[in-house]
Amino acid sequence: MKRLFYLLVFLGQFTEGYSQDSVMVRRIYDQALLNGQAYENLRQLCKDIGPRLSGSAQAQMAIDWSYQKMRSYQFDKVQKQAITVPHWERGTTESAWYQTSNGTLHKVHLLALGGSIGTNGLLQAEIIEFKTLEALQSAKKEIIENKIVFLNQPMDAAQIQTFKAYGACYAIRGNGAVEAAKLGAKAVVIRSLGLPQDLHPHTGSMHYESNVQKIPAAALSTAEANDLSIELQKGKVNFFLEMDCRDFPDAPSYNVMAEIRGSSHPNQIITIGGHLDSWDTGEGAHDDGAGVIHCLEALRILKELGYQPKHTIRVVFFMNEENGNQGGQQYAQWVKSLGEEQIAALESDRGGFAPRGFGLDGPDTYLALLQSFEPLLKHYDLHIFEKGYGGVDIGPLKNSYPGIPLFGFVPDSQRYFDFHHAPSDVFENVNKRELELGAAAVASFAYLLDLNL
């Protein structure tokens, strides 16, 4: 009888706690959907400032805007962390054409890859196609030397999780210039890493190696990559390319952050955030304007509802994720030097689409904690609670805090690579309700994480 009594007491306490959490989550969603500020804040970031490549004037304006916006919400602390970032500029608009075997000239839509050198005037050469990086690596130097390499590997449309399709062909962008240069190529042109067949080229970071000749690297729109491939099957094609991009000395910049101080464990920090910088095409709306706005709105909602966390919850707008990750690396080193105890981190960097759940990058011991949130959140169409990926910005925290759980916000991925690093990544392509639902999901997750760590 006594055992039954204690069991009933425990179940009653559990039910009461669950009910309170359920009410709080509902209040969070109501605030986001009925009184939200996410969409207007994203509009300001995209339209009043625009693209925000590290080291640019727009990046500095975004830093100033973020700092003032955080201060306007009267969080317990708002600050900037001084960092140093790379400074690369695209220069004048790229120009490119190809000429078919019958002499017909076709102008194409093309973007320099981030970090590429320029062409030093108009570069002209025969172009030769490879379907994969491995095919290029196994080719003989005599067929490639003094030609332009065309890497035409499409993302695998059969993949349900589009990030897997992206990862499978990322190497043509990251390593294409190095592998082509080893065989004497004059330049490399890749098929854009995007699923749609359209005229929007997708930029993104690439790298060079110190012991390999640097050659220009660019991305061609997917539709024109298809056309070029067809022409190459008919005969010899010459390619013409001019790019004016260049490197500058590293530049001063900042991470921007705000926090609600913890009541019982103020030196234990839960970091949530995304990256403030973006590529210099489009407006960085999905990548990663939506992510930083998710996290800012989450902190605003918790404060608006009068929630007093046990641990300090800090939102960080990281700078330089796209071409260096100096914001993430220097943040991890900085908080360690301050003696802070970082106990968990969450990143939103997969766009402003409808939320689907959260992934865990960390010890399996935290998987049960993650999955314990599902009963409270499945009513809100969140169903992914599994091992996964955290994020580029929060990744360096693993070096400073071994064993820290890193969580990644997971929205629907089917449209993300329509806009990723492309001129089409603009405010108009973000759905207001989906953005607000994402902010509510992040706020709910931060609330549950604070309660249960």
Q: Which residues belong to the active site?
A: 321
What 3-state class would DSSP assign to 314?
strand
342: phi then psi, degrees, rounded to nearest 5: -80, 120
Q: Which two tokens stand for residue 226?
A: 């298809």
Q: Strands 384-387 and 355-361, how do they pair?
A: parallel
Q: What does the alpha-carbon distance between residue 250 and residue 139 come to, in Å, rounded to a whole number? A: 37
Helices (H), 253-341: 290-304, 326-337
What 3-state class would DSSP assign to 77?
strand
Q: What angle do CA 325, 329, 335 make, to 5 degrees?
A: 145
Are the CB atoms for 125 and 187 separated by under 8 Å? yes
Which single residue is written with the structure tokens 């530049």?
251
Length of the chain: 453
Q: What does the alpha-carbon distance between residue 164 and residue 151 come to, in Å, rounded to a whole number? A: 19
Which single residue is written with the structure tokens 């991890």?
332
Q: Strands 110-112 and 77-89, how do they pair?
A: unpaired
